[in-house]
Structure 1
Amino acid sequence: MQTRSKSGIYKPKVYLATASNQKLYAESTSVKIALTLPESCAAMDAEFSALVRNHTWSLVAPTIDMIILSSKWDFRTKYKANGSLDKFKARLVAKGFQQAPGLD
């Protein structure tokens, strides 16, 4: 079998240079770190507003047999095709792996 690497064809690696503030946001793994930046607060507000506006969930009173799922924030920095900053994005994600099949 003839592959591109055997033929000497390699794709050049492209590296993006980011500012330290943008790098901190992209690498933030906790809400505590992300809340120190105003961009992340605005992104979190926009995500939460969209969830409320679209009626994604509703609050119900918990019962004894109910398994309550937790959630986490996921932070990303989006770039345009030319490498410039596009936007900061935050997503609230439910931890669905905590569900039991057939029960929840």
Structure 2
Amino acid sequence: MTKFSERPSPFPSPSNDLTQLLESGIGCDASIEVGEAPETDIYKVHLIILQSRSSYFQKVFDEIAFNGDDVKVLKLPNISNKVFDVWKNFTRKIGEFGHF
């Protein structure tokens, strides 16, 4: 007999939903630019998620005005693309476990 806890969930996990939302770019209202030209990478993000999970991002994005496209742009030229990718992947993994 299959236990209830062993049955597959009819609903995907929230972290999967958030990952798909981020990857699709739907609803992104901010971006983070890392690195220096010509090695600049732009990451589209959701303010509400970053600001609700990080006091740093809450403070820094509160100080940035929306541009003409209704997007807040955080420029981090002193952060390399590789370092930011490591941070991004780390926080995504933590989010999967619910400890972010």
Relative to its length, the structure with more helix (as a share) is 2
Specify the structure having the higher radius of gyration (Cα): 1
* TM-score normalized with structure 1 length: 0.27
